[in-house]
């Protein structure tokens, strides 16, 4: 048995696993969406006089329609209409266009559908929580109130391209 062969196959498996998750954001889309979410959350934070770290955006689907709410930690504050939700993901000039507001709702529905299928849960039970902490956007997936996993912003926004 060749000890180098074993190490090599282990290394190749690690490299293959690492490359599977590797993708390049050529156009800086993730950076732009991160900036939009951060700025929009800061704006709301100042308006509500609530620290940004306490604000959460929760997105889900009910009766085939996208719903989103703003929370102060675990306390619901207000509904976020889909048109408003668009401003978190797109530049302001683009977000104002009705076609893009529909595209964002459709893109979120697609994401929820694929996430639900991949995790073998009902798509109406999937909850996506978006949160800004230390100027970093954190995205978490839940089945109702039960944490499933942390997801990358990139995996969510790839549906918006």
Which single residue is written with the structure tokens 């934070």? 45
Residue-wise pLDDT for 42-71, tens only, equals 999 999 999 999 999 999 999 989 999 999
Report strand pairing: 75-79 vs 146-151: unpaired
Domain boundaries, position 49: 9-158
Q: The sheet that has 146-151: what strands, in order across it? A: 75-79, 65-72, 55-62, 126-133, 136-143, 146-151
In which band, very low, low, confident or very high, does the pLDDT at 32 lie, cut at 50, 70 and 90?
Answer: confident
Q: Is residue 2 part of a domain?
A: no
Q: Does the pLDDT of residue 128 top 70, yes or no? A: yes
Q: Is residue 4 part of a domain?
A: no
Q: Is residue 15 part of a domain?
A: yes
């Amino acid at each position: 048995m060749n000890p180098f062969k074993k190490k090599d196959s282990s290394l190749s498996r690690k490299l293959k696993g690492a490359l599977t998750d590797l993708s390049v954001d050529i156009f800086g889309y993730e950076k732009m969406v991160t900036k939009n979410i951060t700025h929009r959350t800061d704006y709301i934070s100042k308006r509500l006089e609530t620290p940004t770290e306490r604000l959460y955006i929760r997105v889900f689907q009910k009766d085939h329609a996208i719903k989103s709410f703003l929370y102060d930690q675990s306390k619901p504050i207000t509904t976020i209409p889909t048109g408003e939700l668009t401003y978190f993901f797109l530049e302001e000039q683009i977000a104002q266009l009705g076609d893009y507001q529909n595209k964002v709702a459709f893109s979120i529905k697609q994401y929820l559908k694929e996430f639900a299928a991949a995790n073998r849960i009902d798509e109406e039970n999937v909850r996506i929580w978006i949160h800004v902490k230390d100027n970093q956007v954190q995205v978490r997936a839940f089945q109702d109130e039960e944490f499933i996993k942390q997801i990358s912003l990139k995996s969510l926004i790839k549906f918006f391209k």
